Amino acid sequence: MAAPAMEGMAVVAWRSVMVRVRQAAEKVGRDSDRISVVAVSKTKPVSVIRQLYDAGHRCFGENYVQEFLDKAPQLPEDIKWHFIGHLQTNKVKSLLASVPNLAMVEGVDSQKLAKHLDRAVSAIGRKPLKVLVQVNTSGETSKSGVDPPACVDLVKHVKAECPNLEFSGLMTIGMPDYTSTPENFKTLLNCRSAVCKSLGIAEEQCELSMGMSGDFEQAIEMGSTNVRIGSTIFGPRDYSKKQC
Ligand SMILES: *Cc1c(COP(=O)(O)O)cnc(C)c1O
């Protein structure tokens, strides 16, 4: 009976994460209801996602398109799916067509990707798609995301040229090994200031997606509005026998 015990564990871990999110928010006088917790379910089976869904969670994140296309149709339509991380332009059409309940793309890092998304949304006639612009806050060339000084221009492009996209904020992954430092978070905060000032947007209208399993409490204390939590909820990922 190993499998049901495993599934129960994810729900237990999720409850504890939700408590930690609330405590981190309260510590700095923030309202935790305004912080989204994206349960990052990549490599995890549909059955475990379903357990969390049944426990009341609705916001999930995936970052491999093929896996996403396999799993999303097997799960309830009121799930708010986030695509997180790098998205190839040649996958945009199938992603939009297969996941009508795609709520947000966290990681627009080029005008080209924005254009592809805008066209795909228009082609299927769905409601505007929320997007976050991804910023490379580590300075490492290997990471996707625009350099901080370029984020204002990309946001301008999305707002001016992509009527089917709804600019919702900024996201960062952090360091190339998927950890983050306070400097990465600070850089994203500075980008938000620049974007809001330049485009006349209120800071509350610009989400900050930062913080993962290892650092979500610190990210919340620094102002994150969207944390992406995988292994702390679902356990370590095993890439050797991909279950999907
Ligand atoms: C996998 C992934 C996460 C979750 O990472 P954990 O450390 O397991 O919480 C968050 N963001 C992105 C972009 C990811 O690809």
Place 230 in a pLDDT band, splitting at 50, 70 and 90.
Answer: very high
From the centroid of its chain, how far is CA 169? 11
pLDDT above 70: residue 136: yes
How much is the pLDDT for 177?
Answer: 87
Residue to substitute in 63, 144, 242 for testing ligand 1 pocket (most ligand atoms within 8 angstroms of CB): 63
In the block, residue with structure tokens 């707002």: 159
Looking at the predicted structure, is the pLDDT value of residue 173 above 90? yes
Q: pLDDT tier at 176 (50, 70, 90 boundaries)?
A: confident
Task: Give buried/exposed letters for 37-74 (b at 16+ CB in 10 A, else e).
Answer: bbbbbbbbbbebbebbbeeebebbbbbbbebbbebbee
Reduced to 3 states (helix: H, G, I; strand: E, B; else coil), residue 52 is helix
Radius of gyration of the chain (CA): 17
pLDDT (tens digit per residue) in 88-134:
999 999 999 999 999 999 999 999 999 999 999 999 999 999 999 99
Residue 173 Cβ inside 6 Å of ligand 1? The answer reads yes
- Looking at residue 238, its pLDDT comes to 82
Examine the pLDDT at 241 and tell me if it is beyond 60. no
Ligand 1 pocket check for 165: Cβ under 6 Å: no
What ranges make up the beta strands (E) of 93-143?
102-108, 129-134
Mean pLDDT in residue range 49-65: 97
**Strands, DSSP E only, in the chain?**
36-40, 59-62, 80-84, 102-108, 129-134, 165-171, 207-209, 226-229
CA distance 31 to 27: 10
The ligand 1 atom nearest the CA atom of 212: 9
**How far apart are the CA of 91 and the centre of ligand 1, in A?**
20
CA dihedral 121, 122, 126, 130 (to 10 degrees): 40
**Rounded average pLDDT over 212-241:** 93
pLDDT at residue 135 above 60?
Answer: yes
Residue 181 three-state SS? coil
E strand map for 70-137 = 80-84, 102-108, 129-134
Q: What is the reported pLDDT for 82?
A: 98
How far apart, in whole angstroms, are the C-alpha atoms of residue 184 and residue 191? 11
Domains parsed from the chain with CATH numbers:
2-233 (3.20.20.10)
Average pLDDT over residues 143-160: 94
Residue 144 has a pLDDT of 81
Q: How confident is the prediction for the chain on average, in pLDDT?
A: 94
Asked whether 144 lines ligand 1 (CB < 6 A), one says no
pLDDT at 7 over 60: no
- Does 35 have pLDDT greater than 80? yes
Residue 142's pLDDT is what? Answer: 66
Tokens of 183: 């400097």
- Whether the pLDDT of residue 243 is over 50: the answer is no
**In this prediction, what percent of the chain has a pLDDT beyond 90?**
88
Pocket test for ligand 1, best of 84, 136, 180, 238 (most atoms within 8 A of CB): 84
Distance CA 114, CA 182 (A): 28
pTM of the model: 0.94
> What pLDDT shows up at residue 244?
47
